[in-house]
Amino acid sequence: MNQVLELYLKTKKDWDKKSSVRSSGESYDLNINKIDPKKDPDWHVSNYSGILQHEKLSSLTEEQKKFVRGTQLLEFVIKTTKFEIDYVNVVANNLALGKYYFKLPEVLKLDALKIYTDEGFHAHFSLQMSDQIKKYYKIDDDLSPYLDGFFEKLNNLGNRFDKNYKYLSLIAAVIVSESMIVQDISNEMKDVVYEPIRAMFKDHMIDEAFHANYFGTLFKIIWPQLLEKEKEILGINLCEAMKVLGAPRVDIYYYSLPKIGFDKKIVSKFISDIYDNSEWNQNKIKKRMSNILKLLNSCGVFEISSVKKEFSNQGLI
Ligand SMILES: [Fe+2]
Ligand SMILES: [Fe+2]
């Protein structure tokens, strides 16, 4: 435990100086009134939205493609807002107040509240951005029916186990998401050209690197404290969480594509043409999860045969 903590203390020392809520001073305002529709500076991520690779969508106008990408960004910020405060911060709260039975060093309880603060700020600017994107596209519709399915899947993690173990499902979802988000955001950032969005992704990524370090440390500290049964359940939950969190984000296409004239049945067909293959459902997930898979391996998670079987059935190891 000492070595793990020593490394953590060393690597987290710039956190206060760098965390966006304390130091960035950015407003992340999209300034939608200043976006000239004729010279739209491509404020969404241009290689986003894998669905646009479908040959039947190649004839969409540039404006329609931008709408598909813009609403994809909208999906990202809406999901982020909810995930930060309904999932990460619930776990951060429990950790800070010592509500779990495992023993935690004081510094991890304290730092859970740094995460709580960071995520509150991330939720704030994500919600602001989603309001502005909706305004830009004049979207008044309630988008929750399109996005609730994702949260339902998260809430169903670990349902095969007794509900007394449910807290392990939430911990699994948070550990997985907090370890993958840095890789995720840096991919999404690659060709963002519009400054408020670039700044938002960049600052969020810096914070998430500290969070990934925190949750990696947390995992190393709690894993040895778990009983065998709990290890098995947490291990299987981690695998389920990777499948849900690593799956391609396609929900919003059921909103965006019908808006430009495609019916839902066709949208399903497009989605399955593009995404129903091992490239999207295994290889890409494995890549996005490479850091956490390494962490689990080093902690001996795959030494539990039922857990190992679960991961290999999903093609993740
Ligand atoms: Fe965050
Ligand atoms: Fe985070």
Torsion of CA 200, 141, 86, 126, to 10 degrees: 10
Question: For residue 214, which ligand has an atom nearest its CA?
Answer: 2
Contact 157, 168 (CB under 8 A): no
For ligand 1, a single-atom ion, the residues with CB < 5 A are: 119, 122
Ligand 1 centroid, distance to 39 Cα (angstroms) = 31
* First vs last C-alpha separation in the chain: 27
Torsion of CA 273, 276, 279, 284, to 10 degrees: 110
DSSP classification of residue 290: H
Contact 278, 162 (CB under 8 A): no
Task: Give the integer Cα–Cα distance in Å for 195 and 129.
Answer: 13
Question: For residue 213, which ligand has an atom nearest its CA?
Answer: 2
Q: At what angle do helices 290-299 and 228-246 cross, to 10 degrees?
A: 170
Question: For residue 180, which ligand has an atom nearest its CA?
Answer: 2
Question: For residue 20, which ligand has an atom nearest its CA?
Answer: 1
Comparing C-alpha atoms, which of 121, 122, 94, 120 is closest to residue 108?
94
Task: Give the integer Cα–Cα distance in Å for 15 and 13.
Answer: 6
pLDDT at 56: 96
pLDDT at 195: 84
Ligand 1 centroid, distance to 281 Cα (angstroms) = 24
Ligand 1 centroid, distance to 230 Cα (angstroms) = 27
Ligand 1 centroid, distance to 123 Cα (angstroms) = 7
3-class SS at 134? helix
Question: For residue 211, which ligand has an atom nearest its CA?
Answer: 2
Ligand 2 centroid, distance to 178 Cα (angstroms) = 5
Sole residue written with tokens 């490479």 = 290
Contact 204, 185 (CB under 8 A): yes
Residue 132 burial (C-beta neighbours within 10 Å; 0-12, 13-18, 19+): buried
Global pTM reads: 0.94
56: Cα separation from own chain's centroid = 29
Ligand 1 centroid, distance to 8 Cα (angstroms) = 19
Ligand 1 centroid, distance to 207 Cα (angstroms) = 7
Comparing C-alpha atoms, which of 223, 238, 211, 225 is closest to residue 298?
223
Domains, the chain, in order of start with CATH, read: 15-313 (1.10.620.20)
Ligand 2 centroid, distance to 77 Cα (angstroms) = 14
Ligand 1 centroid, distance to 118 Cα (angstroms) = 7
3-state secondary structure 18-60: HCHHHHCCCCCCCCHHHCCHHHCCCCCCCCCCHHHHCHHHCCC
pLDDT at 257: 98
- pLDDT tens sequence for the chain (317 residues): 689 999 999 999 999 999 999 998 889 998 888 777 676 666 677 667 889 999 999 999 988 998 999 999 999 999 999 999 999 999 999 999 999 999 999 999 999 999 999 999 999 999 999 999 999 999 999 999 999 999 999 999 999 999 999 999 999 999 999 999 887 777 777 777 788 888 998 999 999 999 999 999 999 999 999 999 999 999 999 999 999 999 999 999 999 999 999 999 999 999 999 999 999 999 999 999 999 999 999 999 999 999 999 999 999 99
Q: What one-letter code names the amino acid at 230? A: E
pLDDT at 197: 87
Task: Give the integer Cα–Cα distance in Å for 188 and 34.
Answer: 24
Task: Give the integer Cα–Cα distance in Å for 308 and 153.
Answer: 22
Instruction: For residue 191, give the H/E element and its range.
Output: none
Contact 307, 239 (CB under 8 A): yes
Instruction: Report residue 141: phi and psi, to 5°.
Output: -65, 150
